[in-house]
Amino acid sequence: MRTAPGRDRGVRNGGDFSVEPRFDVELVAVTKRYDRTVAVDAISLRISPGSYCCLLGPSGCGKTSTLRMIAGHEAVSDGDILIRDRNITEFPPARRGTAMMFQSYALFPHLNCLDNVAFSLKMRGVGKAARHARAREFLELVEMDELADRLPAQLSGGQQQRVALARSLITDPQVLLLDEPLSALDPFLRVRMREELKRLQRELGITFIHVTHSQDEAMALADLMVVMDEGRIRQSGTPREIFEQPASSFVARFIGGHNVLGTPGGLVAVRADRCRIGAPNGKAHLPGRVAAVEYQGPVVRVALELQSGELAAALLPDDVYFAGPVQPGEPATLVWSDADARPLVAG
């Protein structure tokens, strides 16, 4: 990506403001009800200026509804949404200072890349030459200037995404909203676009809110990771905080890499890479049977079925595993040290 074109954020906000807002986005008990079901249940969230925020959760957890309410494509049933200290709950989408990138990109199929990117300027009545010049700058930003004359159907998924990004950014948003932006890409491209999204966010210095169901994506990108389930925020924090201190069994299971184990002292989460197989030697342990062994290169994943019927896994460094290999069906004991166990609340 290249350097972002010149920005004029102050003008958009009505000119001079000496006090920097404390938050780019603030949700205050935001609720979304459809007939009888509650899709989003009184969630509150504060996103610091210039953050990369990921809303993470299984499908139906309310993450997309939340994003669409921030964008203004879904009415808020209750609560308030503030962007840079302005209450925009009732504002139309274009006046919120947000821009949305849709899951399917929603590039207009009858317009070429240049006209797609220039669309918002055309709506504002900017003349053809001026809007095309500006659109070219943004196509350059996403390295799509050479394909400016192509129609969306003539582009690959990754190229379409870059154009969609340019089209959103040309509106000079304070907050960019991304709805599962990487889900339509193949795994290789996904990792590359992920890096580019993060770099772009850092360069532009604006807040990105990115909805995803992929833990990897959220961990890789987020400054603020928000784990949602059943319309509620289960836990929010930096990816490291959440990975090291999952608050509930749901969070521990959903972000992966953890065993949720029932011990005499209660429910605990233990990272799979901190678990070992073998003799307890006075450490915490649970007996079971080897269910499967997967060689993954640097680590070997040994899946266990514990006597309690629970499933668990140990991620063993390859040298540790090959020092004492096990076969499926053999009895085995899962061992961990108490220092690695995080007590959990159920749910």
Partner 1 sequence: MMVGGQSYRGGVGRGRPWTFYALALLFGTFLLFLYGPMLVIYLLSFQGPNGGVTFPMVGTSVVWFEDIVKPGQMANIPVSFGRSVALAAVVSLVTVVTSVAAGLGFRRRFPGSGLLFYLAVASLVMPSLLVGFGIGLEFKALGLKTSLFTSALGAQLTWTLPFGLFAMFAVVNRFNRAYEEAASDLGASAWQRLVNVTLPILLPGIIGVGMGAFTLSYDEYARTTLVIGDRNTLPLEIYALISSATSPTLFAIGTVTTGVSFVIIGFTLWRIYRMQARRTAARPVP
Task: Tell me which residues touch partner 1 (CB under 8 A).
Answer: 71-73, 92-94, 98-100, 102-104, 106, 108-110, 119-120, 122-124, 151-159, 167-168, 171, 186, 189
Work out the widest C-alpha separation in the chain, in whole angstroms.
Answer: 77
The smaller minimum CB distance to partner 1, of residues 197 and 316, is found at: 197
Torsion on CA atoms 110, 143, 64, 83, rounded to nearest 10: -110
Q: Is 263 left (phi over 0), alpha (psi -120 to 50) or beta?
A: beta
Distance CA 251, CA 341 (A): 15
The smaller minimum CB distance to partner 1, of residues 23 and 102, is found at: 102
- Asked if 275 and 334 touch (Cβ cutoff 8 Å), the reply is yes
Q: Is 76 helix (H, G, I), strand (E, B) or coil?
A: coil
Q: How far is the CB of 100 from partner 1 (least distance, A)?
A: 5
The smaller minimum CB distance to partner 1, of residues 151 and 320, is found at: 151
Distance CA 320, CA 119 (A): 58
Q: How far is the CB of 104 from partner 1 (least distance, A)?
A: 6
The smaller minimum CB distance to partner 1, of residues 186 and 195, is found at: 186
Q: How far is the CB of 189 from partner 1 (least distance, A)?
A: 6
The smaller minimum CB distance to partner 1, of residues 126 and 299, is found at: 126
Q: How far is the CB of 114 from partner 1 (least distance, A)?
A: 14
The smaller minimum CB distance to partner 1, of residues 84 and 167, is found at: 167
Beta-carbon count within 10 A of 15 CB: 7
Q: Encode burial over 77-102: b for 16+ CB neighbours within 10 A, e otherwise.
A: eebebbbbebebbeeeeeebbbbbbb
Q: How far is the CB of 153 from partner 1 (least distance, A)?
A: 5
Q: How far is the CB of 185 from partner 1 (least distance, A)?
A: 8
Q: Is 210 helix (H, G, I), strand (E, B) or coil?
A: strand
